[in-house]
Amino acid sequence: MEKTFVTKQADIQREWFVVDATGQTLGRFATRIADILHGKHKPIYSPAVDVGDYVIVVNAEKIHVTGRKLDQKIYYRHTGYPGGLKEITLRNQLKKHPTRVIKHAVRGMLPKNRLGRRMLKKLKVYAGPEHPHAAQEPKPLELR
């Protein structure tokens, strides 16, 4: 009789991956990153346990979007004061804060609970080609 496998903290082996966002389509890129953060690429995957890996995204400013999203997609935030709803287009967001675009897209694809917040902490996004995580020896990851 075989027993059901239950993932425990001792079973989890975390890896570091570095991904280049140059020329990648935003939504498809974010989906693949979310799967790695979630751990769906591992045979020990369990939806209630964080088994995912760390992901470093470089060249976030060179992400690609299709259609007319650069001018039509709008990001909203609220200052906390009455009448404090601010909006910014994708084009301006990429100029000012390119890392927020990828983080926002990936965050929308993770669970909306404590587990999702823990997974998002394993995502490191940088606008340029440099990152300070050389000591972790990240492996390059090719996304189709």
Which pLDDT belongs to residue 69? 96
Angle subtended at Cα 137 by Cα 132 and Cα 141, rounded to the nearest 5 degrees: 95
**Residue carrying structure tokens 């425990």:** 8
Interatomic CA distance for residues 55 and 125, integer angstroms: 8
What is the pLDDT, as a whole number, of residue 4?
Answer: 87
pTM (predicted TM-score): 0.92
Distances (CA, A) of 96 to 27, 67, 121: 20, 21, 22
Mean pLDDT in order along the chain per 10 residues (144 residues): 88 95 96 96 92 97 96 97 97 96 97 96 97 96 84
What's the pLDDT at 2? 86
The per-residue pLDDT for 121 is 97
Query: May I ask the CATH class of domain 15-140?
Result: alpha beta
All structural domains of the chain with their residue ranges = 15-140
